[in-house]
Amino acid sequence: MTKRLTSKHKVDRRLKVNLWGRPKSPFNSRNYPPGQHGKSRRGKPSDYGIQLEAKQKMKFYYGNMNERQFRNIYLKAIQKKGNTSENLVGFLESRLDTIIYRAKFATTVFSSRQLINHGHIIVNGKKVNIPSYSVKTNDVIEVKNKSKDMAFIAGSLVNKEREVPDYIHMDEKNKKAKLIRIPKFSEIPYPAIMEPNLVIEYYSR
């Protein structure tokens, strides 16, 4: 088992959920922490505890971004007109590292960041190496020509564990993707229950 996979299993155990929908997660066959006292350790959480857990789940799901980054996205969400929860997930889904993951150019958000950081990704014809780059509707995201034959990308594209969501148009042959629209919360293919409303409540305390 790789160090990164072991780390993700630790996150699943900590948050008590199969966060990324992986087949070998320790929470596929139980909804309580592993170990002799796994069931008995669970008490009734406080409202704060529930809100904190919802925030941690979402923060880890999107690649465990640091607290300052995540809070800044919340601040942008409350400043924008409309439903704050929808704004929050809209900003998260518009990040370049999320788009690369959704388009299946990478198997995880963590590995999508590596592709971006190493200069393998182009947006509208220009190299972008900032994972938090905000993708706009109809932006064209593609793998750089010299990188299109990478076995890592090819392996991710043929992986059947995930499908490309409807709000992303995919040209798999040319390894290009386009964000058609900012998705609604109900459209996002989360493998675990996400509660952005509780995230808003956490930061609104």
DSSP per residue over 142-180, as a string?
EE-GGGTT-HHHHHHHH-SS----TTEEEETTTTEEEE-
Residues 107 and 161 in one domain: yes
Residues 161 and 199 in one domain: no
pLDDT digits (tens, 9 = 90+) for 142-186: 999 999 999 999 999 998 888 999 999 999 999 999 999 999 999
C-alpha–C-alpha distance, residues 98 and 117, integer Å? 14
Residues 60 and 111 in one domain: no
Let me know if residue 40 belongs to a domain: no
**Which CATH number does the domain housing residue 113 bear?**
3.10.290.10
Residues 176 and 195 in one domain: no
Q: Distances in Å between the alpha carbon of 161 and those of 9, 107, 110, 184?
A: 17, 10, 17, 22
Count of domains for the chain? 2
DSSP 135: P
Could you tell me which residues are beta bridge partners of residue 95?
Answer: 134
Let me know if residue 63 belongs to a domain: yes
Residue 173 C-beta-side C-alpha neighbours within 13 Å: 0
**Environment class of residue 92 by beta-carbon count within 10 Å: exposed (0-12), middle (13-18) or buried (19+)?**
buried
Full residue range of the structural domain in which residue 176 is found:
95-181
pLDDT digits (tens, 9 = 90+) for 190-205: 988 899 999 999 999 8
Residue 73: count other Cβ atoms within 10 Å of its Cβ: 22
The predicted pLDDT at position 125 comes to 96
**Environment class of residue 35 by beta-carbon count within 10 Å: exposed (0-12), middle (13-18) or buried (19+)?**
exposed
Whether 202 and 55 have beta carbons less than 8 Å apart is answered as yes
- What is the reported pTM? 0.82
pLDDT digits (tens), the chain, 205 positions: 344 444 544 555 555 565 645 555 444 444 555 555 455 555 678 999 999 999 999 999 999 889 999 999 999 999 999 999 999 999 999 999 999 999 999 999 999 999 999 999 999 999 999 999 999 999 999 999 999 999 999 999 998 888 999 999 999 999 999 999 999 999 999 988 899 999 999 999 8
